[in-house]
Structure 1
Amino acid sequence: MSEPTAPFRNDLKGRTGLVRLRNALRYSLGGYRAAWKDEQAFRQIVCLCGPGLILAGLLCRTWAEGILLILPLALAVVVELCNSAIENVVDRISPDWHPLAKKAKDMGSAAQLTAQLLIALVWGSYLLVRICA
């Protein structure tokens, strides 16, 4: 008896190995290009985090301190990519106002605010300790 096939298999996901990795990289780079081109908030986050990376390299005394300062910056970029993706999907489904669409967009915005607060907390506490020590 043959094994049953999955009824909802996506044939576009049939790639494996290096072909899959190459395609994933190409799609990811396309996502970065689209976010840079179309999302002002993404450009702002990247432009603010870029100098933060340099400053982290100048301020940190150890590898762990550097990672501590860089991780919240990277998280803010990741959260903004997710927030932009949510907004695009919601807008694609319908341009009309709907309470669930507003809720989804507001939650994405709240995620970004949380990431920004994390940057302020980590960097603020790090600089306070460095100044007072």
Structure 2
Amino acid sequence: MEKRRPTFIRSRLNSFGYALKGISAAFKSEVNMRWHVISAGLVIAAGFYLGLTTIEWVVICFAIGLVWMAELFNTALEVVVNLVSPDFHPLAGKAKDIAAGAVLIASLAASAAGLLVFIPHLWELLQKYT
């Protein structure tokens, strides 16, 4: 009997499932990914507390997404490098260092965006209670 191909919708749902499986694997195996998730949760909680505007939420969401995306790419690259070069090789180390640098740049950019969004709100809050 011939195996049936999944429908278009089933195929798309499968794709989402694979993506969620990948995110879950990174969360379980990477301490830095867990820190990024915790940090994002704290930023989101602070955003609700301080009453961010729509555009400020856009900036925060993009910043969080940028960092998570960089961390996921970094994790994927590390897995592939470890697969093809299980023993130490300087080029493998260089590739991993460059990917880690990308995460650092994304994190610094997100931190700058967060400061630009949150400092005026925190300043206003401080003025209110002093």
1:65 aligns with 2:56: yes
1:57-96 map, 5 Å: 57-96=48-87
Structure with the greater relative contact order (CA < 8 A, sep ≥ 6): 1 or 2? 2
User: How far off its partner does 1:15 sit?
Assistant: 5.8
Deviates more, 1:37-46 or 1:52-61: 52-61
Q: Is the 8 A contact 1:79 1:111 kept in 2?
A: yes
Q: Deviations over 1:32-85 (max 9, x none)?
A: 221122111111111111111221233344211111122211211111111000
Please tell me the residue identity of whatever aligns with 2:32: A
User: How far off its partner does 1:126 sit?
Assistant: 2.5
Correspondent of 2:95 among 104, 115, 120: 104
Q: Is the 8 A contact 1:57 1:66 kept in 2?
A: no
CA 1:123/1:115 → structure 2, altered by over 3 Å: closer, same or farther? same
TM-score, with structure 2 as normaliser: 0.80
Please tell me the residue identity of whatever aligns with 1:83: N
- 2:80 alignment partner, SS class: helix
- 2:78 alignment partner, SS class: helix
Q: Is the 8 A contact 1:52 1:73 kept in 2?
A: no
1:11-90 map, 5 Å: 17-90=8-81
Runs of 4+ in 1 over 6 A off after TM superposition: none
- Segments of structure 2 that go 5 or more residues without pairing to the other structure are none
Q: Distance in 2 between matches of 1:53 and 1:61?
A: 10
Aligned length: 120
Deviates more, 1:82-91 or 1:17-26: 17-26
- What RMSD over aligned residues (CA atoms) do the two structures have, in Å? 2.1
Q: Distance in 2 between matches of 1:101 and 1:88?
A: 11
TM-score, with structure 1 as normaliser: 0.79
